[in-house]
Amino acid sequence: MALIAILPGDGIGPEVTAEARRVLEAIDPAFGFETEPVGGAAYLEYGQPLPPQALELAKRADAVLFGAVGDPQFDALARPFRPEAAILGLRKELGLFANLRPAKLFPGLEDASALKREVAESIDLVIVRELTGDVYFGEKGQRTTADGEREGYDLMSYTEGEVRRIARVGFETAMTRGRKLCSVDKANVLETSQLWRDVVIGVAADFPEVELTHMYVDNAAMQLVRNPGAFDVIVTGNLFGDILSDQASMCAGSIGMLPSAALNGSGKGMYEPIHGSAPDIAGEAKANPCAAILSAAMLLRHSLGRGDDADRIEAAVADALRDGARTADLGGSLSTGAMGDAILSKLG
Ligand SMILES: NC(=O)c1ccc[n+]([C@@H]2O[C@H](COP(=O)([O-])OP(=O)(O)OC[C@H]3O[C@@H](n4cnc5c(N)ncnc54)[C@H](O)[C@@H]3O)[C@@H](O)[C@H]2O)c1
Ligand SMILES: CC(C)[C@H](C(=O)O)[C@@H](O)C(=O)O
Ligand SMILES: [Mg+2]
């Protein structure tokens, strides 16, 4: 039976992954689970954010459910010891280059969106974010210039191979949906983006049924709130995808609603809400567990070949929301656990 690694992390990570685990247990009591600390929790226990046993578990498991990492108390540590090094290390070590971040508005959440109802209703898109390259993983550091000023630097780069493989995921994702792909870059300024655009155009030849467009990232940020319904699939680099997905979440009602799948093409995947550890509400049972629960649905669909069960979970979330179940971020007062209960009661 499938082994699911649970890496709860920090802050609200353990709170929301607990609800996702309850849902997975309800789907199939035979699932096996193993848990390891990562992030700040692992730093406190083992002196490092991604201890070898956590990485080993992630490699051994059939799929990984990740919570969130990070806390201000660790922000002064050297970068390899910061909690965020856990998630970046897992993505790199597992080769999880393709990050799917679907954003859609569940019926009933129109008033939770930051957008007008008729604009919010239209959002149903997937951001395909490259996850193991870009400025995130380039040479970085701080140095002193000749005239004695401190200078920080992070090298942005993409190889054509890196762009080609994420572009293919973008086109393939578009083929399963509305067959429209918008590649988002900053080719008017960045050479990295010019190469990105050239390579995406080359890959398009293999997908003649997909309508390809290009958009600069600043315009994309504007169009996402002007008319999100115009997008079907967005393919973009690591940094732009990070920013645009948080923005898309507020069009869809809350950052607590958006799940994600990080994939490497082998079936192995790591599944996590797009949100962080939310230190401002951690420990108060206020976190919305929907993003984690919907991430568990993506886990079933993409790593365990159980698309029907994924559909059941997504339908249960939709039913609970339709009935008015709401955590505070959605304008309600349910606790994290009560929201989990509401979803579980709809699983049937
Ligand atoms: N995947 C990850 O592990 C991940 C992602 C993003 C940020 N982080 C880390 O998390 C820490 C906090 O970062 P931040 O404050 O910029 O982003 P955040 O996503 O943690 O929180 C932003 C805001 O959204 C709210 N929020 C987030 N998730 C929520 C949920 N499920 N339900 C209700 N409200 C929710 C928070 O309360 C906060 O007001 C930092 O250390 C950051 O590096 C981790
Ligand atoms: C925690 C951080 C490293 C991470 C990222 O920037 O990728 C997060 O913001 C995310 O969206 O998964
Ligand atoms: Mg982010």
DSSP β-bridge partners for residue 213 = 182
Q: What does the alpha-carbon distance between residue 339 and residue 152 come to, in Å, rounded to a whole number?
A: 43
The pLDDT value recorded for residue 348 is: 77
What is the per-residue pLDDT for 240?
98
Domain 1-103+256-348 is classified in which CATH homologous superfamily?
Isopropylmalate Dehydrogenase (3.40.718.10)
CATH topology of domain 114-251: Isopropylmalate Dehydrogenase (3.40.718)
Question: In order along the chain (348 residues), what is the average pLDDT of each group of 10 residues?
Answer: 97 98 98 98 98 98 98 97 98 98 96 92 97 98 97 98 98 98 98 98 98 98 96 98 96 96 95 98 98 98 98 98 97 98 95
The Cβ of residue 280 has, within 10 Å, a number of other Cβ atoms equal to 9
The pairing of strands 32-35 and 124-130 is unpaired
- Complex ipTM, two decimals? 0.98
- CATH 3.40.718.10 domain span(s) along the chain: 1-103+256-348, 114-251
186 flagged as catalytic: yes
341 is catalytic: no
**Cα–Cα distance for residue pair 22/345, rounded to 1 Å:** 12
Cα of 276 vs its chain's centroid, Å: 10
For a mutational test of ligand 1's pocket, the pick from 43, 255, 294, 339, i.e. the residue with the most ligand atoms closer than 8 A to its C-beta, is 255
- pLDDT at position 232 is 98
d(CA 68, CA 75): 15
User: What is the Cα–Cα distance from 233 to 255, expressed in whole angstroms?
Assistant: 19
Q: How close is the Cα of 29 to the center of ligand 3, in Å? A: 32
Decide: 104 and 69 in contact? Cβ < 8 Å: no
Q: Which residue has the CA at smallest separation from atom 9 of ligand 2?
A: 242
Which residue lies with its CA nearest to atom 23 of ligand 1?
A: 278
276 lines ligand 1 (CB under 6 A): yes
